[in-house]
Chains A and B, each alone.
Chain A
């Protein structure tokens, strides 16, 4: 491994948002536990003067102090949703009436002084490839049109048990296969920062919904970057936990060895609270870990306000291969600035080389497609999926699948089938598995030298709707920053860190932080300090600010 030490010049201006950087000797620090977010912060669009703070704790405070009822809260979100949804199309299903019913129930619990769960009253949007017992779960596919599963995914069940209220189901690329939501069988979601652009994908609906404050937090799934890339495109926090941290039970399987349920939020603090509720062993998913789940947020309170370099001694490796030629200059500059910012917080930032990095993309597309070709065989019109009328069994299977699947899904099933076939297995599937081992090892090595690794979450900011629709290879290339992390099974956090000058109001860029397996705690701690000290950057899209 090649390690090159670099020095950065501190910028005098925040190139990210074109404001002068406040250069106070001490960063103003925010103790989220004492936050006094009042009714105004949710009934009206979030104040742009706010530092990123926990919406969850803010609304909990409002509910407990009786300054706001759960019903008022739900109504305010529904009215913003009514305002923004026609332009955004984030949701495939909104459960308005059940939302108000549950809010009223919560109000009666509060009035009775009952104990509330940690996520009481938190409105969650759930990606539509995650099963919900009382709502349609289509996976963005025509083949599951009108499908209502008989059970909740473990992730959904755990959120509900913590008091969260599921607001609706969000749009996605069919079965998670895509990077724009253009692959949805039903609609294309727009980016709240520029309605002519994609929100990213496949969890684009969930990212856009959080960005536009249509919900408090949301669930997504990340097989090759489907949480992190849309988080970056939409200017929100996105977490892809370690493989095995969160149960996949009830997540429609795309590539089982890579799939992970993650979440979106407007602050790292909220991400920590949601991840804590989601995590832990599940007897229904044999790949979930029995490791203890730390209280991720507890670390946050230990920041001393007098400490000027709260991340002193933290070794940060900037992955050199992620700032290569194919990466947008604006993105490079924003990420370099983020690296400087981390140095100012006390980190030692060095460049680190992962020679196998570029192999990740082809290996990912072979493995993910191979697994999907097997996983999607269940949609045959008999076991799952809308059944086509046919005279005999093979025609029934063929027609159900032919009519039910979109073109991207069919392409990946074909690629995967090919990659696993006799005569090609060794050249494709087996070789991709070998590459995967190389990538795992190189990450392991890099994470012995460094506490965390950083890189962009995407090689560019959000692009135009339709721009890459007919060029799948260009779209696949956009996943270069994220797929390696899935191949290695590691946790990663995306935190908005700046802007590039595109679109009507600039487009957000996310910084990806990658940690050692099961060390989400460190990532969240670093991310929390990072976002608290990132002055002047307000990641509230114009759509909401104008509303």
Chain B
């Protein structure tokens, strides 16, 4: 169902003469697409995963950033229970105010147990068609409003919206212009021999998937590329708080690195540079401490010995210390006492 978003909230309780009414209309008129699923999900995890997949799809398609915290993607859930073997569904309860996949999962699990408890205590009549609100702090649902029957909305086709007739060609054009959707991408990665964990990680974010695809198109082995992306690169992005697109490393460089390691030019461990100044400083301090004779000579003017110290630290770090950072710290330390 296509609709317009209306206002987001009332900053003051709605009142009249003399009292200012403030309504945030910033989203008014923004197109909004509502997708209603069939009652196909059996627990919170399934529902949360369904919502996550919809988020991936809208992100893949570029129709929305899909951020739940910003309200770009929102989800209301309907929960009903029925005894095993019964075909008709029980009374449906709607839950609103779900701001994350986690809360979708937890709210559904709570609601299921609330309804099951009422049912098993013979209080099924307390399960009524209503809208409940999820309270994240208290981890429970509470009644928001009792709902009237559907027909009381008195729906009829909106006459101000003309019929939209989509031609076969139009639909085909859209089909042909679709990017690879998450499901297809995952299937393709699976065929590359990647584990399900790798597949999900890579396909979850289009930018990561793009980086990965570019890397393997440069000849890198899929498993190796996935390993780098999932471990070292993921950790780096997290530490530095950068996205994959903001990172200096290019897919070409990653492919080259993987090829060098595979060819034995460098070892896998060498590939990883130590960039932590604290760690480097520690090694510098230790090397200086262990070489008092060389230190004295240096401070007496034999500055050429700097190379010796560099070599020692490199040896200690097994070649992984960032040389620029290392020399900067080293020079500071060597000159500190003079």
Contacts and interface: CB of A to CB of B under 8 A. Distances in A.
Interface string A200-229: 000000000000000000000000000000
A374 B16 contact: no
Interface stretch (B121-129, B151-159, B171-179): B151-159
A154 to B, nearest CB: 14
A396 B19 CA distance: 14
Interface in B146-194: 149, 151-152, 154-156, 159-162
A425 B159 contact: no
Contacts of B156: 370-371, 374, 420, 425, 429
A286 B4 CA distance: 15
Contact of B151 (A257, A389, A417, A422): A422
A287 B162 CA distance: 6
B14 interface: yes
A389 B16 contact: yes
Contacts of B155: 420
B154 A417 contact: yes
B160 A256 contact: yes
A284 to B, nearest CB: 11
A286 B16 contact: no
A370 B155 CA distance: 10
Contact of A396 (B16, B159, B161, B162): B16
Contacts of B14: 382, 393
A461 to B, nearest CB: 33
A261 to B, nearest CB: 15
A390 interface: yes
Given A387-B16, A387-B17, A390-B16, A257 B154 contact: no
Given A256-B160, A257-B159, A287-B160, A425 B16 contact: no
Interface string B103-140: 00000000000000000000000000000000000000
Given A256-B159, A286-B162, A420 B154 contact: yes
A374 B154 CA distance: 9
Nearest to A430: B156
Contacts of A387: 16-17
Main secondary structure of the interface of A (DSSP, over half): loop
**Among B17, B151, B156, B161: residue with most chain A CB under 10 A:** B156
B317 to A, nearest CB: 66
Nearest to B14: A393
A279 interface: no
Nearest to A253: B160
Contacts of B149: 422
Contact of B159 (A371, A389, A390, A393): A371
A438 B18 CA distance: 54
Interface in A413-434: 417, 420-423, 425, 429
A254 to B, nearest CB: 11
A374 B162 CA distance: 17
Contact of A286 (B17, B152, B154, B161): B161
A470 B254 CA distance: 87
Interface in A248-268: 253, 255-257
Interface in A97-115: none
B165 to A, nearest CB: 13
B152 A422 contact: yes
Interface in A22-66: none
Contacts of B159: 255-257, 287, 371
Contact of A421 (B16, B152, B160, B161): B152
A423 to B, nearest CB: 8
A373 interface: yes
A422 B152 CA distance: 6
Interface in B3-40: 14, 16-17
A287 B161 CA distance: 7
Nearest to A418: B154
Contacts of B161: 286
B29 to A, nearest CB: 12
A371 B16 CA distance: 29
Interface string A278-301: 000000011100000000000000
A67 B121 CA distance: 95
Contacts of B152: 421-422
Contacts of A417: 154
A373 B155 CA distance: 11
Interface in B40-60: none
Contacts of A256: 159-160
A73 to B, nearest CB: 39
A100 to B, nearest CB: 38
Nearest to B152: A422
A440 to B, nearest CB: 14
A421 B162 contact: no
Contacts of A257: 159
B17 A389 contact: yes
Interface in B291-325: none
Nearest to B149: A422
B17 A421 contact: no
Contacts of A389: 16-17
Contacts of B17: 387, 389
Nearest to B151: A422
> Which of B151, B155, B160, B162 has the most chain A CB within a 10 Å cutoff?
B160
A536 to B, nearest CB: 44
A287 B159 CA distance: 9
A286 B14 CA distance: 32
Contacts of A287: 159-160, 162
A259 to B, nearest CB: 9
A429 B14 CA distance: 34
Contacts of A396: 16
B160 to A, nearest CB: 5
A423 B150 CA distance: 12
B14 to A, nearest CB: 6
A389 B161 CA distance: 35
A390 B151 CA distance: 29
A402 to B, nearest CB: 16
A285 B161 CA distance: 9
B295 to A, nearest CB: 79
A287 B158 CA distance: 11
Contacts of B154: 373-374, 417, 420-421, 425
A344 to B, nearest CB: 42
Interface in A362-384: 370-371, 373-374, 382
B242 to A, nearest CB: 42
Interface in A395-454: 396, 417, 420-423, 425, 429
18 contacts: A253-B160, A286-B160, A286-B162, A287-B160, A287-B162, A370-B156, A387-B16, A387-B17, A389-B16, A390-B16, A393-B14, A396-B16, A417-B154, A420-B155, A421-B152, A422-B152, A423-B151, A425-B151
Given A387-B16, A425-B156, 14 more contacts: A253-B160, A286-B160, A287-B160, A371-B156, A373-B154, A387-B17, A389-B16, A396-B16, A421-B152, A422-B149, A422-B152, A423-B151, A425-B151, A429-B156
Which 5 interchain pairs have the tightest Cβ spacing? A422-B151, A257-B159, A420-B154, A256-B159, A256-B160
